[in-house]
Structure 1
């Protein structure tokens, strides 16, 4: 399905992308702590909302 060159490129691209994202995140970590305090509350609210939608779907299906 894929040639060995395509597989090699895909693996190297993935590794390079992950390394670049880790470096970028570490570089911006202090800014994230400063500007995005309390982000976990928004994430938690979103997850509760999605779970609530699933519960509503299950109860209305019956």
Structure 2
């Protein structure tokens, strides 16, 4: 389906992209810690809300 050259290119691209993302994240780590201090609690609240919706759906279905 894919040629050998395409597979090599895809592999190298994934490695280069992941490396670039990792390096960029390491540079911005302190800035993100300062600006997005409460983001974890927003994510937790979102997942709790979704869990409550599923619980309501399950209890009303039966």
Q: Which residue of 2 aligns with 1:30?
A: 30
1:1-12 correspondence runs (5 A): 1-12=1-12
Compared with structure 1, are the counterparts of its residues 5 and 49 closer, same or farther at alpha carbon in structure 2 (3 Å cutoff)? same
CA-to-aligned-CA distance 1:3-28 (integer Å, 9 cap, x gap): 11111111111111100000000110
Give TM-score, length-normalised by structure 1. 0.83
- Structure 1 regions of 5+ residues with no counterpart? none
- Structure 2 regions of 5+ residues with no counterpart? none
TM superposition shift of 1:60:
3.8
Report the Cα distance in structure 2 between the residues aligned to 1:35 and 1:17, rounded to whole angstroms.
25
TM superposition shift of 1:38:
1.5
Compared with structure 1, are the counterparts of its residues 3 and 56 closer, same or farther at alpha carbon in structure 2 (3 Å cutoff)? farther
Structure 1 residue ranges, 4+ long, deviating more than 4 angstroms after superposition: none
